[in-house]
Amino acid sequence: MQRKIAVVLSGCGYLDGSEITEAVSSLIALDQCEAIYTCFSIDKSVVEVDHITAKDTANHRQCLTEAARIARGQVLPLSKLVEDNFDGVLFPGGFGAAKNLSNFAMKGGVGEADSEVKRVLTNFHQASKPIAAFCIAPATVALVLGKYEIEITIGNDKETIAEIEKTGAHHVECAVDDFVTDRENKIITSPAYMYDTTPAKVFSGIQKAVREFVEMA
């Protein structure tokens, strides 16, 4: 039976939205597993980052509109994501996952997730449906589900690990082309571009994680 997966994007671009390689890798891996996916994003305005200078600009971008660039126009507001309609939910990385889907980038382990993100993560967790998150996105998952002592990875960045563990989550160091599975809580994570690495290695880790994720769904 084909699994139905919700993919939550946070915009477009690694400094102010979803990391494009990670997002596309996730979609390709889901397709390889013959899963049917639907893309969602939060519908809010965020500060634009110049991807050459890495500095904020005077402009703003709409997360939903930007996510449509990756999803080829096929994206829905996160408010329309109903857990009953899907077998699992997946969050690619990019700083948007920690800036737009939550305020982890600003407040670390004492931050909060966007209310819609919190609703989605809580509902999938309560329904015992798998959750996948890559790169920095597991930090946002930890803000919501850390109280359940979940096991996740963001690679080996010590400062980020310390903030994640403030949520109650347990961090497991992991190579870029591997993944970590918390079987009790059905959470699968892979570090991706938390390392200074190559697209092939990012894809390898995400591909392996997605296979595990779809099998668990």
Instruction: Transcribe 124-163 into DSSP letters.
Output: HHHTT--EEEETTHHHHHHHHHGGGT-EE---S-HHHHHH
Contact 96, 18 (CB under 8 A): yes
Q: Each residue of 96-154: pLDDT tens digit?
A: 999 999 999 999 999 999 999 999 999 999 999 999 999 999 999 999 999 999 999 99
Q: Element (H or E) spanning 201, and its range?
A: helix 199-216
Q: Is the pLDDT of residue 58 over 90?
A: no
pLDDT at 102: 97
Q: Is the pLDDT of residue 47 over 90?
A: no
Q: Is the pLDDT of residue 66 over 90?
A: yes
Which residue in this structure is represented by tokens 């999938």?
A: 124
Domains annotated on the chain, with CATH: 4-216 (3.40.50.880)
pLDDT at 50: 81
Tell me the percentage of the chain whose pLDDT exceeds 70.
Answer: 100
pLDDT category of residue 68 using cuts at 50, 70 and 90: very high
Which residue in this structure is represented by tokens 């996948």?
A: 132
d(CA 72, CA 62): 16
Catalytic residue check, 135: yes
d(CA 38, CA 159): 34
Cβ neighbors of 212 (< 8 A, separation 6 or more) are 179, 181, 188
pLDDT category of residue 1 using cuts at 50, 70 and 90: confident
Which residue among 12, 33, 135, 174 is the active-site one? 135
Select from 93, 182, 176 the least CA-distant residue to 133: 93
pLDDT category of residue 155 using cuts at 50, 70 and 90: very high
Q: Is the pLDDT of residue 67 over 90?
A: yes
Q: Each residue of 78-88: pLDDT tens digit?
A: 999 999 999 99
pLDDT at 191: 97
Please, what is the average pLDDT of the chain? 96
Contact 139, 83 (CB under 8 A): no
pLDDT category of residue 48 using cuts at 50, 70 and 90: confident
169/53: higher pLDDT: 169
Q: Is the pLDDT of residue 56 over 90?
A: no
pLDDT at 141: 98
